[in-house]
Amino acid sequence: MAGKLKIHVDPDKCQGHSRCKSLAPELFELDEYGNAHEIGDGTVPDGLEDKAWLAKSNCPELAIDITED
């Protein structure tokens, strides 16, 4: 069985385009400057894997990493 996906936003790369938040609001939150962070420890709940990949593939700054446990 495949492991759980984990997402991480690199705060040095994120420039606050907020594409991830608009595509996957369940997985990302924005700070007061509009920069994105993964919610919690970044573990992607079952059923949201496609949204995680979609967010990653739309980030203009390549700031989102996805790893598999």
Partner 1 sequence: MNKPVPVTDWVSDFDHTDPRWTEDPYPIWDELRAQCPVVHTNRFLGVYMPTTYEAVKAIAYDTEHFSSRRIIVRNSRPPITQSAPPITSDPPEHKPAKQLLLPPFTPDAMKKLEPRVRAICNELIDQFIADPSVDAAARYTKHIPVRAIAHMLGIPEQDGDLFIKWIHEILELGITDEATLMRAIEEMSHYFMGHIQARKSKPTDDLISTLMKARGPDGQPLSDMHVLGSLRLLLVAGIDTTWSGIGASLWHLAKTPADRERLIAEPELMPTAIEEFLRAYSPVTMAREVIKETTISGCPIKPENMVLLSFPAANRDPAMFHDADKVLIDRKENRHAAFGLGIHRCVGSNLARMEMTVALEEWLKRIPDFRLDPAGKVTWSEGTVRGPRQLPLLLGKAT
State which amino acid sits at residue 39. I
- Residue 43 or 66: the one with the smaller Cβ distance to partner 1 is 66
* Distance, C-alpha 2 to centroid of its chain: 19
Site for partner 1 contains 61 (CB under 8 A): yes
How many residues touch partner 1 (CB under 8 A)?
Answer: 18
Closest CA to 15 of 65, 67, 56, 60: 60
User: Is residue 49 part of the contact set for partner 1 (CB under 8 A)?
Assistant: no
Shortest CB 10 distance to partner 1, Å: 13
* Residues found near partner 1 in the complex (CB under 8 A): 15-19, 21-22, 30, 32-34, 54, 57-62
